[in-house]
Structure 1
C-alpha cells in the first residue's frame, strides 16, 4: 500500500510538472505554436509520458484553465469573510479582478478554452467538470446576492439574471486588464478594477 501511495504521489507530481511546463510555454502570444514535444522537453519527460496524463494538448490546456478557476474559487472562499453583502461583493470583485492581474500568464489558455470552437469539440467529461465548477461559483455568490436583496440593499431581480449581468461586466473588465498594453487612455489596471467594481455594485443596487 505504501509503495502504491508513493507511485500515486509521483504520478501527481509529474502531472503538475507537465502542467507547469505547458503554462510557461503558453504564456506568450506565440502559444498556439507550442507542441506536445516542446512541453515534454520543458517538463523533462518523454512525449509518451505526457499522453499518459493527458489525451491531447486541448485536454492539457483545459486542465490549466480549470486550475486557474479553482484557484479563484478557493481565494473567494478563503479571503472573503461573511458579513455585509455589499462589502462582501466589493471585496470579491476587487480581489477577483486582481487575481487575473496577478495570474496573467493564464491569459491565452483561458481565452482559448472559452472560445466557441473549443467548447464545441470539448469532450463531455470536460463540459461536466466545467459545469460543476460553474455551479460552485453560483453556490458561493447566489446566497450573498439573495441576502442583499432580502435586506433591501440590492434591487429585487431573478438571481440568475443578476449573475449573468455581473459575469458580462466582469469579463469585459478582465478583457481590458489582460489587453492593457493595447489600450490607450483607458487608465491603468487599478483604475479598471475600481471602476468595474463600483459599476457592478451600482447595478446590484439598481442605480440609474
Structure 2
C-alpha cells in the first residue's frame, strides 16, 4: 500500500513539474503511476491534496535537513555554510517536488490560515527562523557584522530560492553553494574580508 501511495506522489511530482498542475489530470497521474484513477481519489480525495502533500513533504524534509546541520555546527558561520549545502542538496535530491513548488506555488493556491494548509506556512517560517537564529548567534558572538536580522534572513532565503529555481530549471548547472557562501561571507563576516554594514 505504501509503495503504491509513494508511486502516486512521485508520478504527480513528475507531471506537475513538467506540465503544470492545471494541465495534469488525475488520469495522467494514474497512468504514470500504474494505478486506476479511482485509487488516487480514494487515497488523496483530490488532485489539490496531492499538491499539498508534495509541498509538505518537500518543506518538512528541508526543515529536517537544515535543523540537523544547525544542531551539529559549533558556530554560526559553520552552521550557515552547512545549511546552504544541505539546502541545495535537498533541492537536487527532490528536483521534481521543488519544480512543482516553483511552477505552481502552493502558497498562492491554498488558504494558509486553514488546517492542514497552515502546515506549509509553518514549515517555511521554521526554515527561515533557523537562518535567523544563526544570524543572531553570529552577531552576538562577534563573528558577524551587526545586520538587521529579519531583513538579512529574507535576503538569504531569497538568494537560496533564486539559485534553487535556476538549478531546478537547468540541471546541467554546477552546484551554486560555493557562490552563495561567498556572497554571505561578504555581507556577514566581521574582520574576515566581509564588508561593513551600510
Q: Is the 8 A contact 1:25 1:31 kept in 2?
A: yes
Which of residues 83, 87, 91 in structure 1 aligns to 2:78?
87
Q: Is the 8 A contact 1:90 1:201 kept in 2?
A: no
The two structures have a TM-score, normalised by structure 2, of 0.79
The two structures have a TM-score, normalised by structure 1, of 0.76
Which of residues 58, 68, 76 in structure 1 aligns to 2:58?
68
Provide structure 1 residue ranges, at least 5 long, that are not aligned to the other structure: 1-9, 183-187
Q: Answer yes or no: is 1:122 the counterpart of 2:110.
A: yes
Provide structure 2 residue ranges, at least 5 long, that are not aligned to the other structure: none
Q: Answer yes or no: is 1:54 the counterpart of 2:28.
A: no
- 1:89-129 Cα offsets, whole Å, 9 max, x none, are 11211231232223322243111342xxx544413335411
Aligned to 2:148: 158
More helix by share: 1
What is the number of equivalent residue pairs in this alignment?
188
Distance 2:79 2:128 in 1: 15
Matches within 5 A, 1:112-191: 112-114=103-105, 119-123=107-111, 124-180=114-170, 188-190=173-175
Q: CA RMSD in A?
A: 2.6
Q: Greater CA deviation, 73-82 or 128-137? A: 73-82
